[in-house]
């Protein structure tokens, strides 16, 4: 029989185990493990080691130097795995992983307003690299295909953890908007409907809907605001895709990854406006991505 003191000692460990940030660590590790096991999407463990190493070292150094304390590295771990999975260099090179990791973590300490960073770290790094180094860096485009069990496992845990982290409304809004806009694109440009819907089954979109658009540190402060912002992200993504369909040269740099670049445009603007309107300290949400 467990005594009261023993139960009291166990509770902190239980609270850590179910804290949203550690649930997200579990989910992104699951995406990594399944993707590498089934499809080898990582492309070499040296890429993961480089990205994670630079992320963690940069996080530890900057947090100690600028804030006088060493930050929890869970955020750096999530960012590192996201970058390792999404970054796909055109050649067998490692510098995009090291540079992306450095840019991602540094953005949290440099691109800030009222004590909050404006960009999701991995979103910022990937968006910047594909814009300025498109000849060397691409985005993961692999899809799980018809492997329904892989999709079910990822989406089950993803939705469960999004619910536990209180960001399920963000994920579901984006998914609903993606499907609606995919149907609209199908009506406008034609082509197979499945081809319009298939991308959301892939690991890139799973990372996007569970980690990037839901990042509490870079989303606005109200539930309604988060729903509106993520719907706008889906709309801008669709406009970029339609620009590619009609070969609009002005939008050509954005064709490499419409969702990543749509979030990189809309997210910081929404955060800046929200922080300008907010009086007092941040709301204290702690989950990072």
Q: For the CA atoms of 272, 169, 200, 86, what is the dihedral angle to 10 degrees?
A: 50
For residue 160, pLDDT beyond 90: no
What is the predicted pLDDT for the residue at 283?
Answer: 47
Q: What is the pLDDT of residues 103-120, one digit of tens each?
A: 999 999 999 999 899 999
Is residue 46 one of the residues assigned to a domain? yes
Is residue 265 one of the residues assigned to a domain? yes
Task: Tell me how many domains the chain contains.
Answer: 1
Polymer length in residues for the chain = 289
Is residue 86 one of the residues assigned to a domain? yes
pLDDT over 90 for what percent of the chain?
A: 52
Is residue 286 one of the residues assigned to a domain? no
For residue 7, pLDDT beyond 70: no
Q: Is 207 helix (H, G, I), strand (E, B) or coil?
A: helix
DSSP state of 91: S
Q: What is the pLDDT of residues 238-268, one digit of tens each?
A: 999 999 889 888 888 898 899 999 999 999 9
C-beta neighbour count of 81 within 10 angstroms: 23
Show the tokens assigned to 1: 């029989």
* Burial track 82-94 (b if 16+ CB lie within 10 A, e otherwise): bbbbbbbbeeeee
Q: Are 135 and 90 in contact (CB under 8 A)?
A: yes
What is the predicted pLDDT for the residue at 143?
Answer: 58
Region for 184 from its dihedrals, namely left if φ exceeds 0, alpha if ψ lies in -120 to 50, beta otherwise = alpha
Is residue 181 one of the residues assigned to a domain? yes
Q: What is the pLDDT of residues 211-227, one digit of tens each?
A: 899 998 899 999 999 99
Q: Where are the alpha helices (DSSP H) in 133-246?
A: 148-164, 168-189, 193-197, 203-207, 223-245
Domain that includes residue 159, residue range:
19-277
Is residue 289 one of the residues assigned to a domain? no
Position 146 confidence tier, pLDDT thresholds 50, 70, 90: low
Radius of gyration (C-alpha) of the chain in whole angstroms: 19
> In DSSP terms, which residues pair with 131 in a beta bridge?
none
Is residue 287 one of the residues assigned to a domain? no
Q: Are 60 and 70 in contact (CB under 8 A)?
A: yes
Query: Distances in Å between the alpha carbon of 14 and those of 159, 202, 209, 286?
Result: 21, 32, 27, 17
What is the predicted pLDDT for the residue at 98?
Answer: 96
User: In terms of DSSP bridges, do strands 116-117 and 112-113 run parallel, antiparallel, or are they unpaired?
Assistant: antiparallel
Higher pLDDT, 269 or 148: 269
Position 145 confidence tier, pLDDT thresholds 50, 70, 90: low
Is residue 89 one of the residues assigned to a domain? yes
What is the predicted pLDDT for the residue at 147?
Answer: 67
Average pLDDT of the chain to the nearest whole number: 85
Show the tokens assigned to 11: 């509770």
Query: Distances in Å between the alpha carbon of 266 and those of 78, 163, 195, 261?
Result: 22, 24, 25, 9
Q: Which of 72-76, 82-86, 175-179, 204-208 has the highest mean pLDDT?
A: 175-179
What is the predicted pLDDT for the residue at 228?
Answer: 97
CA dist., res. 216 & res. 282, Å (int): 11
Position 2 confidence tier, pLDDT thresholds 50, 70, 90: very low
Higher pLDDT, 22 or 268: 268
């Amino acid at each position: 029989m467990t005594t009261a003191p023993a139960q009291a000692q166990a509770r902190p460990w239980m609270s850590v185990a179910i804290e949203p940030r550690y649930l997200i660590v579990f989910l992104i590790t699951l995406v990594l493990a399944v993707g590498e096991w089934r499809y080898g999407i990582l492309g070499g463990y040296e890429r993961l080691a480089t990205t994670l190493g630079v992320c963690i070292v940069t996080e530890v150094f900057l947090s100690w130097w600028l804030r006088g304390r060493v930050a929890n590295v869970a955020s750096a771990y999530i960012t590192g795995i996201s970058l390792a999975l999404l970054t796909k260099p055109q050649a067998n090179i490692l510098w995009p992983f090291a540079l992306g990791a450095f840019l991602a973590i540094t953005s949290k300490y440099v691109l800030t307003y009222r004590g909050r960073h404006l960009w999701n770290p991995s979103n910022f790094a990937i968006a910047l690299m594909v814009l300025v180094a498109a000849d060397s860096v691409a985005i993961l485009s692999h899809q799980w295909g018809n492997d329904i069990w892989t999709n079910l496992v990822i989406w089950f845990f993803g939705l469960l953890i999004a619910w536990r982290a209180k960001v399920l409304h963000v994920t579901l809004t984006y998914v609903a908007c993606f499907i609606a806009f995919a149907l609209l694109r199908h009506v406008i440009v034609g082509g197979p409907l499945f081809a319009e819907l298939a991308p959301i089954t892939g690991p890139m979109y799973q990372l996007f809907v569970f980690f990037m658009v839901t990042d509490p540190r870079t989303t606005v402060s109200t539930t309604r605001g988060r729903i509106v912002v993520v719907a706008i992200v889906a709309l801008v993504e669709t406009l970029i895709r339609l620009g590619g369909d009609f070969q609009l040269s002005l939008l050509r740099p954005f064709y490499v990854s419409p969702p990543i670049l749509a979030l990189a445009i809309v997210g910081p603007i929404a955060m800046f406006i929200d922080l300008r309107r907010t009086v007092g300290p941040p709301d204290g949400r702690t989950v990072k991505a």
